[in-house]
Chain A
Amino acid sequence: MIELDGVSKWFGAFQVLRDVRLRVAEGERIVICGPSGSGKSTLIRCINRLEEHQEGRVVFAGRELGADAAGLTEVRREIGMVFQEFNLFPHLTVLENCMLGPVRVLGMTPADARERAMEFLVRVRIPEQAGKHPAQLSGGQQQRAAIARSLCMRPRVMLFDEPTSALDPVMIKEVLDVMNDLAQSGMTMIVVTHEMGFARTVADRVAFMDEGSIVECLPPDRFFTNPADERTKRFLSQIL
């Protein structure tokens, strides 16, 4: 469903992504890990074109992402994204955060959008927070609200950029539980995370990134026990 083909990107003279190749099939769950500054965020932001790549092709569901702005919003509504810092809209309630996309992008009636929003707030287990503003929620609740906001668009893929890095342990579990549920439901997911437990149990493949390239991308049993590359081994010995 997603195809990255020889993607390279530079910030000025600094090359962040080097000839990245990755194919993600429908229903597949990919975990990306790697040291800080290796380009993980940049890579998944290229998938919904929050960053522009300079070389190679990014193809989503048969459509190549380019400069065409109209096509871009079409693609973006089908790709959900969850950020490390939640990035909820602080002036709207949780419910309004979830309804904004369905009403303004999908053209749903407020009543239908509300129903859908509540459905997903129940799925992420915070229906009682619907009327509150983001600032009144704990970090874990905010992140789950952000997940619900993305899900309300009924995306075909969900991208996660270190969704639990800004949280403390109890909240991490709340969020991971929701992500587990999502994986069970068959959602295609690309997750940047250092939660190796999650990678082991949920991922179909784990990719290791270093200095802008994907060093290797293997099923978790092989990734954790028998990686091919020295850098992967060193990284794993550091974080496990």
Chain B
Amino acid sequence: MIPGRTRARLGWVDAAVLTAVVVALGYVFHRVEAVLEYRWDWSAIPNSLYRWDEETGRWVPNLLMQGFFTTIRLAILSMIPAALFGAVFGVLRTAGRLFPRLLSRTYVELIRNIPPLVFIFIFYFFISSQIMPVLGVEDFVRRASPATLRSLELVFGPAALIPNVISGVICLAMFQGAYMTEIVRAGIQSIPKTQTEAGLSIGLSRWELWRRVILPQALRRVIPPLAGQFITLVKDSSILSLISIQELTFLAMETAVSTTRVFEVWITVAALYFCLCYFLSLLFGRLEKSAAAARA
């Protein structure tokens, strides 16, 4: 609660809570300073964000910022297939026929009932050994002309890491798609049956009913929770570090080891994630408001 915005007066409960928080924080700092005898040293951090490149004579992103950009790429790239999986399976989930419903249910239940980490280990093994060779990504990158390579790098990041990023994207999309499926299903099922009846009674075919009545209404209800899920996706992308996708968390581990400044590195990484996710939630909040205003 922000007192300035809500204009709530500070009661004694608030005062007590505030005191408790201050005391707790003070205690933590005391432990770190006096008992842990941790000597803070932030000097290595700026250099692990950006470093001076002698050859080109420019500042270039170092590991942490490289990882940060890869995380953003992973998030954006996997959002598209994840939303696609969510849309397709979410629609199948509400289908009249048994088989599509069963297929989509299996997908959702399988992913929801296995820890993400375990799923990603299994699935990554499958992708890297089966799917990637079939897609021929590595060959494609090797043979690409400089022009295509440049546009590929714009989308996927450094050429050497393209197969790596694509595996990460597929894993993340499969995994997040299951949650999006549930969001889409809930959105579709929240449209009352009476809308279907009204549509049928003016003679709309099943397809037209779906296209003109159900879908436009479901879409509006689904956008806000999907935006929320996108933020979750950004955070969940950190588990890809465990299959050696070189995103922020993975490179943070390397940086923490090489600089030995464990606390400082992880606090910096936390700040980077926080900024990204908080920026996204502000952005989505604003978009939602302007969409609501446009509708009224």
Contact = CB atoms under 8 A, between A and B. Distances in A.
Say if A and B assemble together.
yes
A87 B195 contact: yes
B202 A105 contact: yes
Interface in A64-94: 73-74, 76-81, 83, 85, 87-91
Of B194, B195, B202, B213, chain A has the most CB atoms within 10 Å of the CB of B202
Interface string A139-158: 00000001001100100000
A127 interface: no
Contact of A85 (B194, B199, B208): B194
Contact of A104 (B194, B195, B208): B208
Given A91-B217, A100-B212, A104-B208, A149 B194 contact: no
A232 interface: no
Nearest to A74: B203
Contacts of A150: 201-202
Nearest to A89: B213
A101 B203 contact: yes
B216 A91 contact: yes
A110 to B, nearest CB: 13
B220 interface: yes
Nearest to A106: B203
A95 B197 CA distance: 19
A228 interface: no
B223 to A, nearest CB: 13
B220 A76 contact: no
B204 interface: yes
B201 A50 contact: yes
Contact of A83 (B198, B204, B205, B213): B198
A77 B202 contact: yes
Contacts of B201: 48, 50, 76, 79-81, 150
B242 interface: no
B95 interface: no
Contacts of A48: 200-201
Nearest to B217: A91
Interface in B215-239: 216-217, 220
Contacts of B217: 89-91
Interface residues of A, number: 25
B208 A91 contact: no
B96 to A, nearest CB: 12
A87 B198 contact: yes
B33 to A, nearest CB: 59
Interface string A94-113: 00000011001100000000
Given A91-B220, A104-B212, A83 B203 contact: no
Contact of B197 (A50, A77, A101): A50
Of B197, B203, B208, B216, chain A has the most CB atoms within 10 Å of the CB of B203
Contacts of A89: 195, 198-199, 212-213, 217
A151 to B, nearest CB: 10
Interface in B178-200: 194-195, 197-200
B197 A83 contact: yes
A48 B198 CA distance: 11
Interface string A183-221: 000000000000000000000000000000000000000
B140 to A, nearest CB: 43
Of A50, A104, A105, chain B has the most CB atoms within 10 Å of the CB of A104
A94 to B, nearest CB: 14
A165 to B, nearest CB: 15
Contacts of B208: 104-105
Contact of B205 (A73, A78, A91, A100): A73
B222 to A, nearest CB: 13
A88 B198 CA distance: 7
Nearest to A81: B201
A73 B110 CA distance: 39
A79 B202 CA distance: 8
A48 B208 CA distance: 18
30 contacts: A48-B200, A50-B197, A73-B203, A76-B200, A76-B201, A76-B202, A76-B203, A77-B202, A77-B203, A78-B203, A81-B198, A83-B194, A83-B197, A85-B194, A88-B198, A89-B195, A89-B199, A91-B216, A91-B217, A91-B220, A101-B204, A104-B208, A104-B212, A105-B202, A105-B203, A105-B204, A149-B202, A150-B201, A150-B202, A153-B202
Given A73-B205, A81-B198, A100-B212, 14 more contacts: A48-B201, A50-B197, A85-B194, A87-B197, A89-B213, A91-B220, A100-B202, A100-B204, A101-B203, A101-B204, A104-B204, A104-B208, A105-B203, A105-B205
Interface of A: 48, 50, 73-74, 76-81, 83, 85, 87-91, 100-101, 104-105, 146, 149-150, 153
Q: Considering the complex of A and B, which 7 residue pairs feature the smallest CB-CB distances, nearest first?
A: A77-B203, A87-B198, A101-B202, A81-B201, A105-B203, A76-B203, A87-B194
